[in-house]
Amino acid sequence: MARSRAQLSDIGESRVAWAGHLRHLAMGILKPSAAVGLALLIGAGVIWAMGEDPIFAYQTLFNGAFKGAGNFVATLQYTTPLLFTGLAVSFAFRAGVANIGVEGQMLFGALAAGIVGYTISAPHFLHVALAMIAAAVAGAVWAFIPAILRARLGVNELVVCLMLNPIALLLTGYFSSYPLKAPGPTNKTYDILASAQLQQFTNSAQLNTGFILALVLLAVFWVIENRTGKGYEWKLVGQNPLFARYGGIGVQKSIIGAFLVSGMVAGLAGAEQVLGVYRAFYNGFSPGYGFDGIAVAMLAKNSPIGVAFAALLLGALNSGGIVMQMMTSVTRDLVKMLEAVIILLLAADFAITSFKARRKVAKAGTAGKSIGGGQA
Amino acid sequence: MNTRRLALVVLLVLVAMLAITGVGAAKAIRVAMVTSESGLGDRSFNDMMHQGFQRAEKDFGIKFNVIQPKSISEFKSTLARASEQGFDLIIGSSFDMIDPMKEVARMYPKQKFALIDVGPDPIASNVVSTVTKDWEGSFLVGAIAARTTKTGTIGFVGGKDIPIIHRFFIGYYYGAKMINPDVKVLESYSGTFTDPATGKEYTLALINRGSDINFAVAGATSAGVIDAAKQTKTFAIGVDSNQNYLAPGFVLTSMMKRIDNQAYDIIKLVVDGKFKGGTVLTYGLKEKGVDYAMDKYNKGLISDSTLKLVEELREKVIAGKIVVPNYFELKPGQKTMGQPPIDSPLN
């Protein structure tokens, strides 16, 4: 019955580790929640200044997002693309690469899925799988440009990604307006075949099986990031590339790998929209899902579980915002404002933390120097 | 005692009924305006429609909410959820909303819908839709251009090379050729509805080829067409809303689409209890759905004799003596880029 000393100390250590985990988790939940709460408070002030009742406005917003099956399904529809793009961004952030080119990678993924969706014919599952693979590959190809520039030449990926986004928008726009345009008044490609369609759950909204795929993907990434050696390598490179290099990890390879995986997930975001929502590639269909993914990743503190909640939050705000617009004179732009305030607050928190850390290092540095000076 | 009691009860019931009817009379008709993707503030289509709602609010005491979807994927769920909010009428616009509204209208057969500025096919049994005969308005401004040009060459700058825009061109071409079979009509498409700089380049190219009046049918790109006219001291013709004020003296006129009237009229149908789903309303010259703009900014630019002639043309179109060809009803092969699209009406 009696446990050995070693076993007991093991338990003790794991207890300490768990306490650390819990504290980490608590801060990870507390800070974003505080940011959301503060943003809602500021939003309430704005609504009040517009001459509307903030409580009623928020009530319609909440009910519009969650009350009744129709509203809830619509909320999940808004959430789905953010699950994909949020995961793509957060995975890259965790590995130390700022892939803010998810928007462009998603557009190419969408176009590829759209083309495969109508050009080939295959049994349902195979067709969907092929379209998804094409989308993932297309997203990865577009992500390869900033990846190779960063890894080989040290070019800042933020700048490259930012410039590649409009190029992707215009290029896919060109393809869907001219060489691949289906006849008719709108600039879109031909409708995909029925065998490539993702099943929609209801008639009133376009929520489809892509939502389930997103959840599965989140679970897979949680396992990769927390339970595999590769995931640990990526995390290490993200936290301290120098240390990782001394530890024998190929940093360049790791950067390229992280970029490609992130691009693949971004491409799948496009596939879900084309195969599940639109059933064709529409020129400029995205209202900025790739950019919203950045907000999701920041809110989620780069964890897949966090992504699920953060995407649901933004999805609910966007979905409820539509109903709020129907019942009050508060426009939907309020939701965009709330998002912006949340991001600002989180960014400010990040800046303060890193500023504090730097001051600590600087203090330790000067202390060391004075001791050294005394010795000399 | 009993009769007294009865009287009291009757009185109470009457008062209660009065109160109910009073409430009923005070309940305003609620209308939803679902914008197309570009939303409010586009200084063109959606803003024009919004004016119609504001006018209806003033005249009929209706209440309205503006709902602004941010992408085409939101149209369906937005229309479906608006149908749950007890609106008396939901008005949308644009070709992209046809399919979403068709499906949602079937799901909510008791909800009244309207779809503005779409094709001639009925949408559903509870939807009133409208067609704007912009080709008739383009016909008149084409005639004005052909009468006013000094070089004998006029131009057309479309936003994109798509059927809806060809519809304007055919009307413009037909009007110009009817007035003067020898006039040259140059056709070009800038490829964008949002870039004035590109619009300006295309217009300057047309001007280099001898055109001195250019019709802009290109959304926000039109501003560049007008800018080019100002720079080269030639004329531009505006579109959708009255754009004469953008460059006084250089905008010959504007081909206005009165989207505001369409929204106003359909709201009036609901107010009067005359709304009949499944009908398609046409807005041509006859219904004052299209017109050319005359105001203080283009005063004196068009000669009186031209105006007189154009008014005669208008009467003939309204009377059905002239049928302006509609692009969607042309025979195959009648419209290819760079070719005269149709025979000159005088032949």
Single-letter residue type at A371: I
Least confident segment among A57-71, A275-289, B9-23: B9-23
What CATH number corresponds to the domain at position A33? 1.10.3470
Q: ipTM surpassing 0.85, yes or no?
A: no
Which chain A residue's Cα is nearest to B165?
A185
What does the alpha-carbon distance between residue A342 and residue B269 come to, in Å, rounded to a whole number?
45
Q: Is B84 on the interface with A (CB under 8 A)?
A: yes
* Closest to A325 (Cα-Cα) out of B77, B105, B32: B32
Asked, for residue B106, whether it belongs to a domain, the answer is yes
Mean pLDDT of B270-296: 94
Considering chain A, what is the average pLDDT of its residues? 88
**Tokens matching residue A181:** 């345009």
Number of domains in chain B: 2
Q: Is the pLDDT of residue B341 over 90?
A: no
Put simply, the answer to whether A327 touches B85 (Cβ < 8 Å) is: yes
Chain A interface with B: residues with Cβ < 8 Å:
64, 68, 70-71, 74, 77, 177, 184-187, 203-206, 273, 277-278, 282, 285-287, 322-323, 325-327, 329, 331-332
Are both B175 and B313 inside the same structural domain?
yes
Q: Choosing among B71, B88, B164, B328, which should be mutated to test the A contact, i.e. which has the most A CBs within 10 A?
A: B71
More confident residue, B21 or B3: B3
Contact B214, B157 (CB under 8 A): yes
Q: What is the pLDDT of residue B346?
A: 45
Q: Is the pLDDT of residue A203 over 90?
A: no
Q: What is the pLDDT of residue A370?
A: 44
Q: How far is B157 from chain A (nearest CA, A)?
A: 18
Are both B246 and B144 inside the same structural domain?
yes
In this structure, are strands B89-93 and B113-116 parallel, antiparallel, or unpaired? parallel
Q: How far is A33 from chain B (nearest CA, A)?
A: 27
Q: Is the pLDDT of residue A2 over 70?
A: no
More confident residue, A330 or B334: A330
Asked, for residue A71, whether it belongs to a domain, the answer is yes
Asked, for residue B58, whether it belongs to a domain, the answer is yes
**How many A-B residue pairs are in contact by the CB < 8 A criterion?**
73
Single-letter residue type at A87: L
Are both B114 and B250 inside the same structural domain?
no
Q: What is the pLDDT of residue A11?
A: 56
Are both B174 and B237 inside the same structural domain?
yes
Q: What is the pLDDT of residue B146?
A: 95
Kindly list the residues from chain B whose CB atom is less than 8 angstroms away from the CB atom of residue A206. 73, 76-77
More confident residue, A42 or B345: A42
Are both B161 and B62 inside the same structural domain?
no
Contacts within 8 Å (CB) and 24+ apart, A340-347: A341/A35, A341/A38, A341/A39, A341/A42, A341/A43, A342/A32, A342/A35, A342/A36, A342/A39, A342/A295, A342/A299, A343/A294, A343/A295, A343/A298, A345/A34, A345/A35, A345/A38, A345/A39, A346/A31, A346/A32, A346/A35, A346/A298, A346/A299, A347/A298
Asked, for residue A154, whether it belongs to a domain, the answer is yes
Kindly list the residues from chain A whose CB atom is less than 8 angstroms away from the CB atom of residue B78. 322
Asked, for residue A146, whether it belongs to a domain, the answer is yes
Put simply, the answer to whether A185 touches B95 (Cβ < 8 Å) is: yes
More confident residue, B259 or A187: B259
Put simply, the answer to whether B76 touches A68 (Cβ < 8 Å) is: no
**Tokens matching residue B317:** 């179109």
Put simply, the answer to whether A277 touches B73 (Cβ < 8 Å) is: yes
Q: Each residue of B132-164: pLDDT tens digit?
A: 999 999 999 999 999 999 999 999 999 887 778
Number of domains in chain A: 1
Are both B230 and B128 inside the same structural domain?
no
Q: What is the pLDDT of residue B21?
A: 44
* Closest to A83 (Cα-Cα) out of A343, A328, A300, A338: A300
Are both B176 and B319 inside the same structural domain?
yes
The CA–CA distances, whole Å, from A26 to A34, A93, A199, A225 equal 12, 21, 38, 20
Contact B226, B220 (CB under 8 A): no
DSSP A7-20: HHHHHHHHHHHHHH
Asked, for residue B344, whether it belongs to a domain, the answer is no
Are both B50 and B107 inside the same structural domain?
yes
Kindly list the residues from chain B whose CB atom is less than 8 angstroms away from the CB atom of residue A327. 65, 85
Q: How far is B332 from chain A (nearest CA, A)?
A: 14
Q: Is B253 helix (H, G, I), strand (E, B) or coil?
A: strand
Put simply, the answer to whether B65 touches A327 (Cβ < 8 Å) is: yes
Asked, for residue A176, whether it belongs to a domain, the answer is yes
Kindly list the residues from chain A whose CB atom is less than 8 angstroms away from the CB atom of residue B76. 204-206
Domain that holds residue B68: 28-132+260-283
Mean pLDDT of A43-60: 93
Q: Each residue of B109-132: pLDDT tens digit?
A: 999 999 999 988 899 999 999 999
Asked, for residue B336, whether it belongs to a domain, the answer is no
Kindly list the residues from chain B whose CB atom is less than 8 angstroms away from the CB atom of residue A282. 72
Asked, for residue A356, whether it belongs to a domain, the answer is no
- Cβ contacts of A33 within 8 Å, gap of 6 or more: none
Domain that holds residue A59: 27-350
Are both B152 and B118 inside the same structural domain?
no
Q: Is B96 on the interface with A (CB under 8 A)?
A: yes
Q: What is the pLDDT of residue A90?
A: 96
Asked, for residue B126, whether it belongs to a domain, the answer is yes
Asked, for residue A258, whether it belongs to a domain, the answer is yes
Q: Is the pLDDT of residue B14 over 60?
A: no
Rg (CA), chain A: 23
HSE-CB at A308 with a 13 A cutoff on CA atoms is: 13
What CATH number corresponds to the domain at position B199? 3.40.50.2300
Are both B50 and B78 inside the same structural domain?
yes
Rg (CA), chain B: 24
**Tokens matching residue A91:** 């995975």
Contact B46, B35 (CB under 8 A): yes
Asked, for residue B267, whether it belongs to a domain, the answer is yes
Put simply, the answer to whether A326 touches B85 (Cβ < 8 Å) is: yes
Mean pLDDT of A235-242: 86
Are both B175 and B32 inside the same structural domain?
no
Put simply, the answer to whether A64 touches B66 (Cβ < 8 Å) is: no
Helices (H), chain B: 2-26, 45-60, 74-82, 98-107, 134-148, 163-179, 196-208, 222-232, 259-271, 304-319
Put simply, the answer to whether A71 touches B96 (Cβ < 8 Å) is: no
Which chain B residue's Cα is nearest to A277?
B73
Considering chain B, what is the average pLDDT of its residues? 87
Asked, for residue B59, whether it belongs to a domain, the answer is yes
Q: Is B301 on the interface with A (CB under 8 A)?
A: no
Are both B184 and B58 inside the same structural domain?
no
Put simply, the answer to whether A326 touches B67 (Cβ < 8 Å) is: yes
Q: Find the CB nearest B164 among A185, A273, A331.
A: A185
Asked, for residue B248, whether it belongs to a domain, the answer is yes
